[in-house]
Amino acid sequence: MNEVLQFLAQHGPLVLFLAAFVEQAGIPLPASPWMLAAGALIGQGKVHALSAIGAAASGSMLADLLWFFLGRRYGNRILKLLCRVSLEPDSCVRRAQNVYSRFKLRGMIVAKFIPGLSTLTPPLAGSSGVGLSRFVFYDALSCCLYVGCFIAIGLVFSHQLEQILDALAGFGRGALALVIGLLVVYIGYKYYARRRFLKELRMARITVDELRQKLEAGEPLVILDLRSQDELDQDPSIIRGALRMRADELQTRHQDIPRDREIILYCSCPDEESSARTALLLHRKGILRVRPLLGGFDAWRDRKYPLDTHVVKVTDFLSLS
């Protein structure tokens, strides 16, 4: 028997519990290979199916519960903390919020199978005020389905899986070094592309103090709030005078934005990436006087500058103008 399978046969439930917990805690060490191997061992009668599923599902649920309570206590700050370690923090936040906004707790079942999103949905549920019993029910269902699917695949392809492991072992350390090298190159490229993108946008941003001065001077501005609906539900405050438009609406409704004024965009994403990307999109559509707000909504609120709770949509603003 392959050494990996032999080790898992001896310490199966503990290994599966730890692997699932580490993955769901946000550490980029996937638990799926261990679940596939466990499925292969179940087919050989060397691991008990219920103990394997129970151990892996329990490890994943424990991590989910920790994130749930952290989300309930700290709200969106936990999301930003998690997404700052992501290679694409803006899409990380936006995808998680979109999935949760559309499906609510049912979205946990979908998100469990999408790398990155599975760790973000528990704090989202916690920050949105979901009851503990409802969260535990849906989380247990999603964890069991996730673990069960990988174990079932390992069971069906148990013979092929052992052959693959034996083949990889034959390549020795050279294959492992190649895989690690390719992973380092990929992470390095994504990091470089992200830093270059932020550098291009940094010069165009406006500070909250500058925006405050422009508003006090009565300059004609259009301030667009690009936050998700869930964020507005949790905190309905907006910058005084801001208009509401979702970032995904701009592709089709950019013509609704006035061309004769300076456009200020803000969100609550790490490094203002939603507003920065939106600024680039508007530039391509011919709207050139557009600037992201440095620090976004959080920076404005931290300075205790004026806020409103009455949300005005861009179309409503145009009808009143």
197 closest CA partner among 304, 275, 137, 132:
275
Taking only the tens place, the pLDDT of each residue in 238-257 is 898 888 887 677 777 777 78
pLDDT of 129 reads 80
> At 286, is the pLDDT very low, low, confident or very high (cuts 50, 70, 90)?
confident
How far apart are the C-alpha atoms of 1 and 3, rounded to whole Å? 6
Residue 290, pLDDT > 80, answer: yes
pLDDT of 270 reads 53
Taking only the tens place, the pLDDT of each residue in 96-114 is 666 666 666 777 787 788 7
pLDDT of 313 reads 62
pLDDT mean over 114-130:
80
| pTM given for the model | 0.59
Share of the chain above pLDDT 70, in %: 70
Residue 2, pLDDT > 80, answer: no
Taking only the tens place, the pLDDT of each residue in 257-276 is 877 888 898 887 655 566 77
Taking only the tens place, the pLDDT of each residue in 34-82 is 888 888 888 888 888 899 999 999 999 999 999 999 988 887 677 767 6
Residue 321, pLDDT > 50, answer: no
Domains and CATH numbers, the chain: 3-171 (no CATH), 204-320 (3.40.250.10)
pLDDT of 228 reads 76
Residue 307, pLDDT > 60, answer: yes
List of residues 6+ apart from 107 with CB closer than 8 A? 99, 100, 121
> At 95, is the pLDDT very low, low, confident or very high (cuts 50, 70, 90)?
low
For strand 262-266 and strand 243-244, is the pairing parallel, antiparallel, or unpaired? unpaired
Give the angle 88-94-100 at the CA atoms, nearest 5°: 130
Taking only the tens place, the pLDDT of each residue in 205-246 is 888 999 999 999 988 888 988 887 777 777 788 898 888 887
**Identity (one letter) of the amino acid at 29?**
L
Residue 141, pLDDT > 90, answer: yes
pLDDT of 244 reads 84
